[in-house]
Structure formats: structure tokens, C-alpha cells
Amino acid sequence: NKTSSSNFIKNIVIDDLAAGRVKEIVTRFPPEPNGYLHIGHAKSICLNFELADEFKGRTNLRFDDTNPVKEDVEYVESIKQDVKWLGFDWDGLFFASDYFGEMYERALLLIRKGLAYVDDQSADEIRESRGTLTEPGKPSPYRDRSPEDNLALFERMKNGEFANGEKVLRAKIDMSSPNVNMRDPVIYRIVHAHHHNTGDAWVIYPMYAFAHPLEDAIEGVTHSICTLEFEDQRPFYDWVVAQCEMPSVPRQYEFNRLNLTNTVMSKRKLKQLVDEKVVDGWDDPRMPTISGLRRKGYTPEAIRAFCREIGVAKSYGVVDERMLEHFIREDLKLKALRTMAVLRPLKVVITNYPEGQTEWLDAENNSENEEMGSRSIPFSREIYIEQDDFMEVPPAKYFRLFPGNEVRLKHAYFIKCEEVVKNEAGEVVELRCTYDPETKSGSGFTGRKVKGTIHWIEASQAVPADFRLYEPLILDESDEDDAEDKSFLERINPHSLETLSGFVEPGMKEAAAQEKFQFFRHGYFNVDPKDSAPGRPAFNRIVSLKSSFDA
């Protein structure tokens, strides 16, 4: 089910360098600071930075902050942090709003050339009159204003003499173009709002489609890579660069955006999940944000490997989220300490083990990586096992504990269930077992075999811990991420989070935030950086041990 990685943009770069069309590759990652970055952005980040790196070029981080209403410095800081964490260093750090002066000058140039005009029509009237794919547009009654009139009106727009929406500046191109984007698009609008960077200096703001090519050209970007929705905008992009007489000519290339199964990815929807408290903030481990994935326990290496594997193409598709899980397992397999944790504890008393005695057993740290060495874990008369590892009336092929059956305790001994202790409600609260000292792990005992091996934690030194298990937040096979789709709130999985309290080994008492472990039989876990308390770590399950995606 793996897609082969392909990168048609890389081939374009190779051709451009070979033909001498560009001397150096310059790319940019241009987020709008209106939310936290998500895994889709990671695809764009990896593409832009790795492409430039490969050809010894440069990559800018540019905040596309041309819309004053939705933007915030909190987002700026989180975006910088996430790009760095992913392992990339930008060459230039820019804000599109720093170019407002230059953009304004370029708009004046268009007006003087007779290529832009002030329109008094309302947004609805303009939308109506631009027509559709099958119906040509109708020229605005204000289309033939003279450059002098337009310059004067635009000046008055800039000076704040008009209300929001009263007037706009439009490019004057072709109202009958087969490409609706070329039918005199709006390039400036009036917004009386405070901007996070420029404050109250401006009340007119450039539209994205006008601003973006100028930003690229100002920075000398050579390859401006964006997602496929912008394909129809490319003629206008080229028009702006040419008619504004920009000295450097960037080229736009489009690739397929990342969609993941059971995941919504547009920032608007993610913000809604945060605002409506469906999740516990942008970094909730159930969120597909970089900060959520980090808190869940994903590593930059795993995310980068995933982005490389999915590749870059020009066709739409939805990637199975299990593919992302595959890469974190691969990354942690040889790195993570393999320890034991009991998530749903059941007390076991080993009746023939001497009271008051503790022995220390040797436990290897990673059975696939000897270099990780071993640790000592205590064993004594009282231990905890997993409630699931006992059944009073076992079904066929149940090889764990049941009355009269014997199992191996990982790193320790065989134990046999002799007696079941219940409370007044009839629930099993304790098992009384015996152990066989001959069967110590590593002793070479071959006298008899058992079919089940279970994990455990010695009771007196057990460290209490919380465990958070996750399921997909969104109940759906696929999500094309239609920004207008509101139904995703009805598809929230009510069981996306399960919290359990159990025990881990004594050596994990002071586990550091973000430290990752493989818990025997349970999967990979990360020490939560916010909810862990001294002596009581909280663990987020990153992923279970196996899936059909693993080789």
C-alpha cells in the first residue's frame, strides 16, 4: 500500500540549473500565522527545505500575514518553534507585511499603466458580474475610470476615507477570459483593523493572490511551490510579476496537498476543535498539528521519513494514517528502552516466595539492540499484572493465567494460579499464585514449557503512572478536507481518549518529559511534558506495537 516517492519538482529544478535558467535555488515556506502548523504543512516544509538543501540553495520562512483579522503573534512563535523542531534552519525570516509599502507602490504602477481601477461595487455585485466557467463576466460600470481618478480614489482608500467594503482596487485584465481568476480580480480591499505587525499604519490590505507573487519576487524566490488549488491562479501570478515589472521572476509549481484518513487538517477546523474545547488545545496529542504529534511522542525523524515516503505528485489522494504510525515505529524500534508497564493492575501474591525478600533481576533494555544494555528490576512476593491477563473461565486458546495454569513472567519466573480472591461484588481483586525457583529467566531451564509470557510490576516499588490511549478523533475513512464541510463536528469519536492509572518500573519514576519507551506488549509511549508530576509520570501512547503496514 506504499506509494513510491516521486518528486517531479526536483526534476524541474535539475533542468533549470542545467539550462542556466537559475543560478541558485531559492524556495520559501509561507505560512499564514492564523493557527498552528499541521502534518500537511510538514509536507510542504520538508519539500521546500530539502529541495533547496539538496542543490545548496536557500529557503526563507515567510509569514504570509496580509490578513490582519485572523493573525496573531502566538501563532508566529509556534510556527518558528515547529519548523526548527522538524530540523530545518531558514535562511531569511520575513513578514509579508514588511512589504506593504512596496506592494502599494506596485499597485500605483498598475494604476498608472491603466491596469488597475477602483471599483465601487459591493463584494456580491463583483462576484455576480465575474460570471462562471460557462458564462462570461460583465464589465464593472467603474472599469473605465481614468488613471488620475483611480490614483486619487486609491489615495483616499489608503487615507481611511471609506468604510470596509465600500471600494476595492481591481486588476484590469479580461472580463471574458476563460479563466475566471483573470476577470479583473480584486487586489486591494479596505480593512479597518489592527495588524499584529504594522499596527494601524494601513487600512488597505493586498489580496493574497496579488501579494504572494510580489513577496516571492521581492525575495528572489525561484521556485514557488504551492498546493494544487492554486493551479488556476498561475496565469494571474505570472501577470502580476510581469506587469508590476518585478526584477526577479519566480515560477509557481503546484503539488498535491496531504490528506490523511480520519483526520481534518484545515486550520479553520482545527481552530474550531480548540475553541469548542473538543480537544485540550492545539497540542492535544489527538491533533494532527506538529505540536500535537510532538506531544504524542512523534519524532522529527519519523515525520521527515513519512514526508519523503509519500512523495510529491500532481494527483489528489488520501494517505492512510497508519503509514505515519509505521514511521514512528521504525524510528523508535532500536532507540526506545523496552520496559514494562501495567495499565489495568491486578494484585498477585506469590505465596511460596519469602516474605520481606526482594531480589533484583536482569532485564535487557532492547532485545533488538544489545548496545542498549540492561537494567535491574525488583521482584518480590507481591506484584501487579494486567487484569486482561487473567480469566476465571478462559476461552479456547487462552494461554495466559487461569486457575491451575502456569505462565512465564517476563524476565522472571513461571507462576501458577492457585486461588482467586473476590470482593463482595464478585469481582476478582487478587490472585494467589506459586512460583517455581527453577524457572528463573536466563537460567537455561528446559524442564517444561509454558505458552504465555506476561508482564508485571513489583508492588512495593511500583511507580504510579497515568496512561492515555488514543483512537482517531474523527470517525471517517477519508476526509478530502473540504473547508466548507461542517459535518466533521458530528463525526467526532466519543472514545478518542481513554485514561488509565497503573504502574511502571521504579527506574521510570523520574522519566524526563518527552522520553519515549516501548512498553512490553502495549506499544510505544511518550512522557507527557505537561501532565507528568514529580514521581508520577503521565504517558501518551504514540502507537501500538503492530499494524498491517509494518513489513
Annotated binding site for ATP: 32-34, 38-44, 227, 257-258, 265-267
Write down the least CB distance from residue 44 to ligand ATP, Å. Answer: 4
- Decide if residue 43 touches ligand ATP (CB under 6 A): yes
Phi, psi of 548 (to 5 degrees): -65, -15
Q: CA of 494: how far to CAs of 247, 264, 525, in Å?
A: 55, 16, 22
Per CB under 6 A, the list member of 266, 299, 518, 526 interacting with ligand ATP is 266
Instruction: Check: CB of residue 324 under 8 Å from CB of residue 331.
Output: no
- Decide if residue 167 touches ligand ATP (CB under 6 A): no
Residue 7 interface partner, choices ligand ATP, Mg ion, none, CB cut-off 5-8 Å depending on type = none
- By beta-carbon proximity to Mg ion, the closer residue of 32 and 120 is 32
Per CB under 5 A, the list member of 7, 16, 32, 507 interacting with Mg ion is 32
Binding part of the chain for Mg ion, among 32-40, 41-49, 214-222, 501-509 by CB under 5 A, reads 32-40
CA 316 to CA 502: how far, in whole Å?
44
Strand 168-171 versus strand 116-119 pairing type: antiparallel
**Would residue 267 show up in a list of annotated catalytic residues for this protein?**
yes
Greatest Cα pair distance, the chain, in angstroms, is 101
Binding part of the chain for ligand ATP, among 138-146, 153-161, 180-188, 263-271 by CB under 6 A, reads 263-271
Q: Which of residues 53-82 bind ligand ATP (CB under 6 A)?
A: 64
Residue 58 interface partner, choices Mg ion, ligand ATP, none, CB cut-off 5-8 Å depending on type = none
Cell matching residue 493: 469519536
CA torsion sign for 38, 40, 41, 45 is: positive
Angle between helices 147-158 and 100-112 (to 10 degrees): 160
Binding part of the chain for Mg ion, among 29-37, 89-97, 105-113, 504-512 by CB under 5 A, reads 29-37
Per DSSP, 390 falls in state: B
**Would residue 32 show up in a list of annotated catalytic residues for this protein?**
yes
Write down the least CB distance from residue 483 to Mg ion, Å. Answer: 6
Write down the least CB distance from residue 103 to ligand ATP, Å. Answer: 18
CA 40 to CA 3: how far, in whole Å?
17
Burial 239-255 (b: 16+ CB within 10 A, else e): bbbebbebeebbbbbbb
Residue 67 interface partner, choices Mg ion, ligand ATP, none, CB cut-off 5-8 Å depending on type = none
Write down the least CB distance from residue 398 to ligand ATP, Å. Answer: 45
Residue 40 interface partner, choices Mg ion, ligand ATP, none, CB cut-off 5-8 Å depending on type = ligand ATP
CA 60 to CA 38: how far, in whole Å?
19
Instruction: Check: CB of residue 212 under 8 Å from CB of residue 231.
Output: no
CA 50 to CA 88: how far, in whole Å?
9
Per CB under 6 A, the list member of 32, 102, 301, 476 interacting with ligand ATP is 32
Q: Determine the residue with CB nearest ligand ATP.
A: 40
Residue 41 interface partner, choices Mg ion, ligand ATP, none, CB cut-off 5-8 Å depending on type = ligand ATP
Q: How many residues bind ligand ATP (CB under 6 A)?
A: 15
Instruction: Classify the phi-psi angles of 345: left when phi > 0, otherwise alpha if psi is within -120 to 50, otherwise beta.
Output: beta
CB atoms within 10 A of CB 365: 16
Annotated binding-site positions for L-glutamine: 64, 208
Residues taking part in catalysis: 32, 257, 267
| Residues making contact with ligand ATP (CB under 6 A) | 30-32, 40-41, 43-44, 64, 226-227, 257-258, 265-267
